[in-house]
A and B are shown apart, each in its own frame.
Chain A
């Protein structure tokens, strides 16, 4: 019989540290919700917005970040995705090395799919100088190396 022992995607990967930047791997569950056009979107955020634990990912699509997704029709993606919290006074210098976004127009509470370096990520601005990066678990090592190179 199998002794099921979960493996963390961050096993064997060093998360970089440096002055002025705090990078933390977040232990979160994820779920993707896809609805049909015309469905009831009550309680879900609008385009590129994040509310509570829901992030709008595009037309009729949301990502839940947290524990215990309240929607049974959402599909569990907890093993597919990982998240990093990146904060600190130098956070813009770090992220601007790989993300082509105007930080003045990307206000707190906003989220968007974008490219960091060569990888697709979801970026959520949680506070003025605090961001959450969500990306595919197989890219954890690449992202850690990318961040280590740039910090």
Chain B
């Protein structure tokens, strides 16, 4: 136990003590502390175990670059895994637990991994544990891998998104950032300044320099806000920690004309044996804890580094009351060759002999935080003089300033340890110098291969303290300069962010927009069970004691024997008008619509340019120059957009206009042998209206459109009225004796019995009209239409394509079951089941399937395979009921 609170100093509020717990121990800190500073102040040396070898690890850094101090924050539903202690502001009652140790942090059985480290080199899973089989060990190894545990309960916290625009966005509130923001604001620009910590000032805060920010109306300052992603068009994403407000976190999407990156620099560690023992820290972190938080990270410090900064640190540490044991400067040939102690530094072994100390502060130079610049698409290059990667060419309106631009005046000299022992490059992922050398020997010399083979830089810290050291080592091993080795492309997020803030308000009912029928409330009163089909639609209306399936069967039987009532309001309704409307539709549909007489209806298929069916429905000719297209419920918007696209791109001179009127008209379907009778009782204009005919009229002041067209196989009327009147129509119709409301499940049973195709279920991205038995229209049609050229290719006319047929079987066939083209599984598939049910009308299983050469195989018995089960079925015609269509016309 070496860290301690200093009697004075720091930017903490000593009048506001806070209690918190770590691994069940109750500890105290002050407002203004981070969890890391409070742990150090309480003398907590070991805060976690390392990822692979389970070595004890302590606080190493003071910012987002911290690789060791990863904790589980809070418990239960509020659990937040893998949080970095250096980035957690202390609050009253905070609960944190260490990770990666079992059964406890002090006594971790998995520490055996450290003893077995010779079996666990980089890429060990490709080389070891191969006998008798990798899978024998895989479960145990996977269980041991990983850090924290994910919460098992829904997150009760609230998260928000916010869009913002500005002329200049300054990222980083240190001196350089403040200066840039001030200058831009004084020029009259709209400026936003985001700073990750709770105060502006950066290093100046704990170096004692003065901070001066003039708040003006055109300068917006967001503290506790971390910019984590830089995307195209100068879009920067940032997360604001606003846990003191209504929301826990807020995701800012900031679009700026110009971005100034002033994110500072991160101190690099040095790679030497024992550099991971608790008590080895970045020198800048020791200084920050001393002057920012009033915490002495140790009593007696040895300073070890390769640059001029060592002497400034020595002065600062002395001022903080930390005794200086030694200053070891690699430029003078002095170096650390080992560290004594396991759970805390006791001494360091140096080229000058052993030096007793409890803290080793290291400084290996600095790395500008170029992550966001790289994410913006900017290139970075290595500066030999300053021994760091610096921003080079920008591709967006962005520039780096201050330390982020490498504006240092430090004499830094590269240094590599030659001492033997486990020297860590990446503390977060336990990647050692030996692992990097091994990768080089095995020719994983590309920086991308190095990363993936060794996992260098793939920990939660994303290699902020390790990447540059790793690629410099690789450069040494392969005789290349760091510039030649290069870096991996930096990717968002700069620091880990929560899933909650990505989701924002998109949870529960707001996960995605739910579309409600105009008469949704009426369906609710009837006890409808709803399902999301793009719209919230009734699946069925179960009665007491009835299952959903039983309800659907009852409803389907009612349609076959009397009359059913269905809310078909989502049915796509697109109006097309103009003097060229008819010839335009001839081009859009496979069938010919220009020969249709006003008041008549024709079924049609729409294809894409590949000849694949994308939608089906009927076209109704309202007048000589006006059509109403009924599309599938899910296809209305897409088809309307497609028609517009054709008009705007290919037929801009044609007199055709298109408008999607789906939402304007509510549609009610009356179907069954008594449907016409019921419609007449309602006063609807259906007298002598034959199948595939249309009539428009006014009932009172209400316009009514009636189309006699069927998707059930029964005489059916599709009655459309302005959406506000749908409830009245449904209510009145349902009150007539013998009328049964039915839902989507019953509709599916009815259309399957009739063999009507459901586009998207019985068809897929390869199905042509010929495949579903509607190739005749193509053969007849001489004019051009969308997809025609593709359909004329020989491949589309081949007889061995999958063709729509029916299947009859003793047992119900599962959707997706494959037709076996061999006697035993596994064997090639000869097609598959697309729709299936036990027919309520016929009382036996039926199915639709697409089978190779299906139409030539009627009567043949085939075997089907599904999830280990084998079925038998007979191939029949797809229409199981009323193939002559008498029911439609009666």
Contact = CB atoms under 8 A, between A and B. Distances in A.
A28 interface: no
B661 interface: yes
B727 A5 contact: yes
Contacts of B728: 2-7
Contact of B519 (A4, A7, A140): A7
A8 B164 CA distance: 35
A75 B659 contact: yes
Nearest to B664: A80
B509 A79 contact: no
Contacts of A2: 682-683, 699, 728-729, 732
Task: Report which residue of A2, A102, A142 has the largest number of chain B beta carbons within 10 angstroms of its beta carbon.
Answer: A2
B659 A34 contact: yes
Given A4-B701, A11-B521, A36-B655, A142 B510 contact: yes
A80 B574 CA distance: 13
Nearest to A146: B510
Interface string B708-732: 0000000000000011111111001
Interface in A13-65: 32, 34-37
A104 to B, nearest CB: 7
B661 A150 contact: no
Contacts of B509: 142, 145
A4 B704 CA distance: 12
Interface string A93-107: 100111111111100
A122 to B, nearest CB: 13
Contacts of A142: 509-510, 513-515
Given A7-B519, A37-B652, A139-B515, A77 B510 contact: no
A66 interface: no
A98 B162 CA distance: 7
Contacts of A5: 725, 727-728
A5 B519 CA distance: 12
B721 to A, nearest CB: 8
Interface string B115-139: 0000000000000000000000000
Main secondary structure of the interface of B (DSSP, over half): mixed
A6 B165 contact: no
A93 B245 CA distance: 15
A135 to B, nearest CB: 10
B663 A138 contact: yes
A98 B161 contact: yes
Nearest to A9: B518
Main secondary structure of the interface of A (DSSP, over half): loop
Contacts of A102: 165, 255
Contacts of A113: none
Task: Report which residue of A9, A11, A79, A137 has the largest number of chain B beta carbons within 10 angstroms of its beta carbon.
Answer: A79
Contacts of A37: 652
B517 interface: yes
Interface string A140-151: 111001100110
Contact of A137 (B518, B699, B725): B518
Contact of B722 (A79, A103, A136): A79
A109 interface: no
B298 to A, nearest CB: 47
Contacts of A36: 578, 655, 657
Contact of B535 (A96, A98, A138): A138
Given A37-B652, A80-B663, A142-B510, A97 B162 contact: yes
B342 interface: no
Interface residues on A, range: 35 or more
Contact of B727 (A7, A75, A104): A7
Contacts of B701: 4
A141 B510 contact: no
B505 A150 contact: yes
Contacts of A145: 509-510
A86 interface: no
Contact of A149 (B163, B164, B505, B729): B505
A97 B575 contact: no
A4 B699 contact: yes
Contacts of B160: 97, 150
Given A34-B659, A75-B661, A80-B663, A7 B724 contact: yes
B253 interface: yes
Interface string B679-694: 0001100000000000
Interface string A106-128: 00000000000111000000000
B456 to A, nearest CB: 37
A80 B732 contact: no
Given A97-B160, A149-B510, A79 B663 contact: yes
A68 to B, nearest CB: 15
B378 to A, nearest CB: 24
B857 interface: no
Contacts of B699: 2, 4
Nearest to B700: A4
Nearest to B163: A100
Given A2-B729, A97-B162, A142-B509, A8 B521 contact: no
B665 interface: yes
15 contacts: A2-B699, A2-B729, A11-B521, A12-B521, A35-B657, A75-B575, A80-B662, A102-B165, A118-B506, A138-B518, A138-B663, A142-B513, A142-B515, A149-B505, A150-B160
8 closest Cβ pairs, A-B complex: A80-B663, A102-B165, A138-B515, A79-B723, A6-B724, A80-B664, A142-B513, A34-B657
Interface of A: 1-9, 11-12, 32, 34-37, 75-81, 93, 96-105, 117-119, 136-142, 145-146, 149-150
Given A97-B160, A149-B505, 11 more contacts: A6-B724, A9-B723, A75-B661, A79-B665, A97-B162, A101-B163, A117-B513, A136-B663, A138-B517, A138-B663, A150-B160
